[in-house]
A and B are shown apart, each in its own frame.
Chain A
Amino acid sequence: MSLLKNRLTYLTISFTLLALAFPLISIGTSQGPAWLWQLGLSSLIAGGMIPPLYRLLSHRSTEFDEPESSSDAQKTH
């Protein structure tokens, strides 16, 4: 759970799981074996569950609504 405390870390895990799902499902459904697409679907669901899970698990609600700390918009001025 400590990994999920960092916004970029949890989003990177989520992104990786979502991206991984694509080839697993494509190969698994086209050529088999079936467990490959089942693994891909699980990866897709897990990747999708991470962002809302982060919101529910974290108690520091103010973090959610803040824009990224490295606001480029402000840096330009």
Chain B
Amino acid sequence: MQETSIPINLWFWLLAVSPLLVMSFLLVKLRWTAQQAGAIGMLFAGTVAFFAFKTSAEVLAVAGAKGIWDSVSILLVIWPALFLHHTMNQSGGYEAMRQGVVKFSRNELFVIIALGWVFSSFLQGISGFGTPIVVVAPLLVAIGVKPIYAVAIPLIAHMWGKFFGTMAVGWLATLQVVTLDAPTIASTALQTAILLMIQVVLGGFWIVWMYGRLPAIKHAWPLVLIIAAIHGFGQIIVVIFDPVLSAFIPATAAMLALYPLSRWRRFAEPITNIPNRPAMQADLVKDFVDRKTPMQLSMSFAPYILLTLLTLSGSLIGPLKSALGQFKFGMSFPAVESGYGIINSAVDTYSAIAPMSNPGFFILVTALITVLVYRSRGYYKAWAIESSQPSPGLTKSLISSAIPASVPIIAFLVMARLMDHSGQNQVLAYGIAAVAPTYAFAFLSNGIGVIGAFATSSSTSSNVLLSDLQLTIAKLKGLPEATILAAQSAGGAIGNAIAPANLVLGASTTGISGKEGDIMRKTLSWTLVAFVLTGVATLVLLMLNL
């Protein structure tokens, strides 16, 4: 992390944090749509950068363009995911799935845990980039979960897999930006997995609480503990041997464990003793009138099985992975420097994107095959007649949902780059470090990761931007680098639960575009509790001196 000549004082710190505060206030308090709040956040960050952080128009332009490019990897997921979503919706696939799921288990809470926690975590293990949210949220709506909860549940539940998920892309990216010796690397991985255990346990119990408060906890606690043990301890054990597989293997093990768990009488029969279920808008078993669906359960799940197979093949088969990753492209940018000496070097190919190894490619292939098969079997026409709703058409549905989702995602990521290129991120982190005594800083260090993920909507970006800075401060304060980097990484995962781009992804696939602030209200409290507990755990790790 480069030294900065920006004054580190309260005034500059408040200026640096103001874009995030303004955007959050508009989104949560005034309930502006993500498009409006995101755009204001972006313009506000640019204004602060220009007038207070001595950032010239050319630097603003370069930062803005890089932010637009950063959003492409997310847009490459959301457009195909929305295409798949509309395909399922307009063919009766979701209804077939709901009816099939009831036959599998008539226990609503078990199904929510299976889809919202276990399946979303599995998807995070292999895919990421928002795929768990865009795939799972509409499935939860299909079984009767209110859309806001349908987004909040997977958003909270799969956070534990963010850092080591997607075949550990966050971990590998972090190692690219810091210089550590082998023992410190191993210690960092282990301590991160230990800190992520908090998110595993807290996430599991939190979604059960959201479903039905204390009676739901009393009903589901054995299931939560079993899944948490598989996810959490699994990750701790595997990370010792291979961090790249440390989210994927336990997430897959939990998927496999679902079948024997569904045979447990406690989780096979409908729930009768949970009267208050705030997350539900309908009962999985009682409130649905079974309509004749054009397809069987196997055909409704076939796209997700295909998606899993394609993604696994693209990740685990070496020659295929390298072949798909061959085609890359990006554009060049010159070196730029702000008036306060924040330098960003020239790049020939900025953040090259390999579209065919992006998860969106596998979703697109899945969706296209699904459309061909469903159309050849007449599912769309049959479902339009059965549901008495004329189909609006896939293209029209896709555009009317993907454009509103794309605008705020671009705005959020442009805002993040503006803050980065103007030095606002550095001021945020240095400001916390300047006023916090050593142990207070250790407690707050995961909060810096949370802010980074909130600003960039990515745990990987949070670590890329802030890891080196965290290590610099850790050295200055005499704190162990591994523990502080672990805290940063855990915080980066936590912050994704309130990351605006993730809220937009979920809102757009559940038909509640514009309600992003309401979703954030549901996930904000979890984020704060996870932050505090991770801070305390960081202090415990310091005392244990692992």
Distance (whole angstroms) from the CB of A10 to the closest CB of chain B: 9
Q: Residues of B contacting A28 with CB < 8 Å?
A: 61
Q: When the two chains form their complex, are residues B511 and A26 in contact, meaning their CB atoms are under 8 A apart? A: no
Q: When the two chains form their complex, are residues A26 and B65 in contact, meaning their CB atoms are under 8 A apart? A: yes
Cβ-neighbour of B35 out of A26, A51, A71 (below 8 A): A51
Q: How many residues of A contact B (CB 8 A)?
A: 44
Q: When the two chains form their complex, are residues A21 and B65 in contact, meaning their CB atoms are under 8 A apart? A: yes
Given contacts A22-B68, A76-B95, A76-B141, contact A44 B513 (CB under 8 A): no
Q: When the two chains form their complex, are residues B65 and A52 in contact, meaning their CB atoms are under 8 A apart? A: no
Is there a chain B Cβ closer than 8 Å to A59's Cβ? Answer: no
For the A-B complex, the count of residue pairs with Cβ-Cβ distances under 8 Å equals: 154
Q: Residues of A contacting B514 with CB < 8 Å?
A: 64-68
Is there a chain A Cβ closer than 8 Å to B523's Cβ? Answer: no
Is the interface on chain B under 10, 10 to 19, 20 to 34, or 35 or more residues? Answer: 35 or more
Roughly how many angstroms separate A23 CA and B350 CA in the complex, as a whole number?
12
Q: Residues of B contacting A12 with CB < 8 Å?
A: 399, 403
Q: Residues of B contacting A67 with CB < 8 Å?
A: 511-515
Given contacts A37-B61, A67-B512, A76-B95, contact A7 B407 (CB under 8 A): no
Q: Residues of A contacting B32 with CB < 8 Å?
A: 55, 64
B43-68 contacts to A (CB < 8 Å): 43, 46, 57-58, 60-62, 64-65, 68
Given contacts A29-B61, A51-B39, contact A76 B89 (CB under 8 A): yes
Given contacts A11-B35, A41-B60, A51-B33, contact A72 B138 (CB under 8 A): yes
Q: When the two chains form their complex, are residues A52 and B401 in contact, meaning their CB atoms are under 8 A apart? A: no
Q: When the two chains form their complex, are residues A44 and B414 in contact, meaning their CB atoms are under 8 A apart? A: yes
Given contacts A52-B40, A72-B511, contact A15 B407 (CB under 8 A): yes
A25-77 contacts to B (CB < 8 Å): 25-30, 37-38, 40-41, 44-45, 47-52, 54-55, 64-68, 70-77
Is there a chain B Cβ closer than 8 Å to A4's Cβ? Answer: no
Roughly how many angstroms separate A75 CA and B410 CA in the complex, as a whole number?
28
Q: When the two chains form their complex, are residues A15 and B406 in contact, meaning their CB atoms are under 8 A apart? A: yes
Distance (whole angstroms) from the CB of B275 to the closest CB of chain A: 22
Q: Residues of A contacting B2 with CB < 8 Å?
A: none
Q: Residues of A contacting B33 with CB < 8 Å?
A: 51, 64-65
Roughly how many angstroms separate A65 CA and B32 CA in the complex, as a whole number?
7
Cβ-neighbour of A68 out of B62, B69, B334, B401 (below 8 A): B401
Distance (whole angstroms) from the CB of A16 to the closest CB of chain B: 9
Q: Residues of B contacting A22 with CB < 8 Å?
A: 65, 68-69, 331
Given contacts A8-B400, A51-B35, contact A14 B407 (CB under 8 A): yes
Q: When the two chains form their complex, are residues B57 and A41 in contact, meaning their CB atoms are under 8 A apart? A: yes
Given contacts A25-B61, A73-B510, A74-B511, contact A49 B403 (CB under 8 A): no
Q: Residues of A contacting B510 with CB < 8 Å?
A: 72-73
Given contacts A22-B331, A29-B334, A54-B36, 19 further A-B contacts (CB under 8 A): A14-B35, A15-B406, A19-B410, A22-B65, A22-B68, A25-B64, A26-B65, A40-B61, A44-B61, A45-B46, A47-B407, A51-B36, A52-B36, A52-B40, A70-B511, A71-B511, A75-B387, A76-B142, A77-B144
Selected A-B contacts with CB under 8 Å, 11 pairs: A8-B404, A21-B68, A23-B331, A25-B62, A48-B414, A49-B39, A64-B36, A65-B514, A68-B400, A70-B397, A76-B141
10 closest Cβ pairs, A-B complex: A71-B511, A25-B65, A26-B331, A73-B511, A72-B511, A41-B61, A51-B35, A22-B68, A51-B39, A48-B39
